[in-house]
């Protein structure tokens, strides 16, 4: 099956709430997180008011008219409203999620490569927060992310624009 990508729009906020839930890391064997966790202010801020200045992202679709299977997005933070992977006000934070049935098939890589090309034209760097034991750490390293800080069981990773 071919994967198509389309740019996220300001009208995709509700869809991104679903992907926000999918982006939350759960340890192998642990029960799923309660769905209402995405209503917590520290989590909801990743998609609340989607479409503001500095928001950008891509949606992966199963074929040209198929259902959505993944999303990757950037949010540029404001002084009083920052995320777990905050580095500075000039560095947007990356979020990415792929629906469970599509993981391990290259969807996340395609989304990230497309979003990174766009980010490299606009920003000097991007950041993210990830659990130290999340297998995605290998992908992030392969794409040029380096550890910026290690708060608790997490990593804040940063990728500078190449060149």
Neighbouring C-beta atoms of residue 69, cutoff 10 Å:
23
pLDDT of residue 1: 63
- CA separation for the pair 4, 143 (Å, rounded): 21
Q: What is the DSSP letter of 83?
A: -
Q: What is the pLDDT along the chain (163 residues), one digit of tens a residue?
A: 699 999 999 999 999 999 999 999 998 888 999 999 999 999 999 999 999 999 999 999 998 778 999 999 999 998 889 999 999 999 999 999 999 999 999 999 999 999 999 999 999 999 999 999 999 999 999 999 999 999 999 999 999 999 8
Q: Which domains does the chain have, with CATH numbers?
A: 3-160 (3.40.630.30)
What the block records as the tokens of 71 is: 């999303």
Quote the tokens at residue 41.
Answer: 């202010």
Across the beta sheet with 56-62, what order do the strands follow? Answer: 3-7, 56-62, 68-75, 93-98, 125-131, 154-160, 146-149
Distance CA 26, CA 90 (A): 30
| CA atoms of 38 and 2, how far apart (whole Å) | 30
């Amino acid at each position: 099956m071919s994967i198509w990508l389309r740019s996220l729009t300001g009208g995709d906020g509700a869809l991104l709430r679903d992907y926000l839930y999918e982006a939350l890391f759960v340890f192998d064997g642990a029960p799923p997180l309660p769905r209402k966790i995405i209503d917590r202010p520290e989590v909801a801020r990743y998609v609340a008011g989607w479409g503001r200045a500095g928001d950008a992202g891509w949606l992966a679709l199963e074929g040209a008219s198929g259902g959505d299977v993944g999303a990757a997005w950037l949010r540029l933070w404001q002084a009083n409203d920052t995320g777990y992977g905050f580095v500075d006000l000039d560095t947007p934070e990356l979020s990415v999620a792929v629906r469970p049935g599509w993981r391990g098939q290259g969807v996340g890589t395609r989304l990230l490569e497309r979003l990174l090309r766009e980010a490299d034209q606009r920003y000097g760097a991007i950041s993210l927060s990830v659990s130290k034991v999340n297998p995605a750490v290998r992908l992030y390293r392969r794409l040029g992310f380096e550890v910026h800080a290690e708060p608790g069981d997490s990593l804040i990773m940063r990728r500078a624009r190449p060149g």
